[in-house]
Chains A and B, each alone.
Chain A
Amino acid sequence: MILAFRSYALPILPAICSRVLGYLPILVFCVVAVLFLAGTLLAARLLRHAGSGATDREPYECGNEPESFAHDHRFSIRYYLLAVLFVIFDVETVFLFPWAVMFDQLALFGFIEMMVFLTILVVGYVYVWNRGALSWA
Chain B
Amino acid sequence: MIELLTQHGEAILFYAFALAAVVSAVGVISLRNPMYCALSLLVTFLAVAALFLMRHAELLGMVQLFVYGGGIMVLFLFVIMLVNLHRLREVRLFNEQVPIALVLGVLLVALFGWVFLSLPASAPGDSTALVSLDGEVVGNAKAVAWVLYTEYLLPFEIASIFLLVAMIGAVVLGRRD
Asked whether the complex places CB atoms of A and B closer than 8 A, the reply is: yes
Which A residues have a C-beta under 8 Å from some C-beta of B? 8-9, 12, 15-17, 19-20, 23, 71, 75-81, 83-88, 90-95, 97-99, 101-102, 105-106, 110, 113-114, 116-117, 120-121, 123-125, 127-128, 131-133
Asked whether A121 lies within 8 Å of B160 as measured between CB atoms, the reply is yes
Which B residues have a C-beta under 8 Å from some C-beta of A? 2, 5-6, 9-10, 13, 53-54, 56, 59, 62-63, 66-67, 70-72, 74-75, 78-79, 81-82, 84-86, 141-142, 144-146, 148-150, 153, 156-157, 159-161, 163-164, 166-168, 170-171, 174-176
Asked whether B78 lies within 8 Å of A117 as measured between CB atoms, the reply is no
**Contact partner, A91, options B74, B163, B175, Cβ 8 Å:** B163
> Which residues of chain B come closer than 8 Å to A75, judged between CB atoms?
81-82
**Contact partner, A85, options B141, B142, B167, Cβ 8 Å:** B167
Asked whether B63 lies within 8 Å of A94 as measured between CB atoms, the reply is yes
9 A-B pairs within 8 Å (CB atoms) are namely A79-B78, A81-B174, A83-B78, A84-B166, A85-B167, A87-B67, A87-B72, A91-B163, A95-B159
Asked whether B163 lies within 8 Å of A80 as measured between CB atoms, the reply is no
Excluding A84-B174, A88-B166, 19 further A-B contacts by CB distance (< 8 Å) are: A16-B5, A16-B10, A20-B54, A75-B81, A76-B176, A77-B82, A79-B82, A83-B78, A85-B167, A87-B72, A91-B163, A99-B145, A101-B142, A102-B146, A106-B149, A116-B157, A120-B163, A123-B164, A133-B175
**Contact partner, A124, options B9, B141, B164, Cβ 8 Å:** B164
> Which residues of chain B come closer than 8 Å to A78, judged between CB atoms?
176
| Dominant secondary structure of chain A at its interface with chain B | helix
> Which residues of chain A come closer than 8 Å to B74, judged between CB atoms?
83, 86-87
Tell me the nearest residue of chain A to B70, going by C-beta.
A90
A-B complex: 10 closest residue pairs judged by Cβ atoms? A98-B145, A87-B71, A16-B9, A102-B145, A124-B167, A124-B164, A84-B170, A81-B174, A120-B160, A90-B71
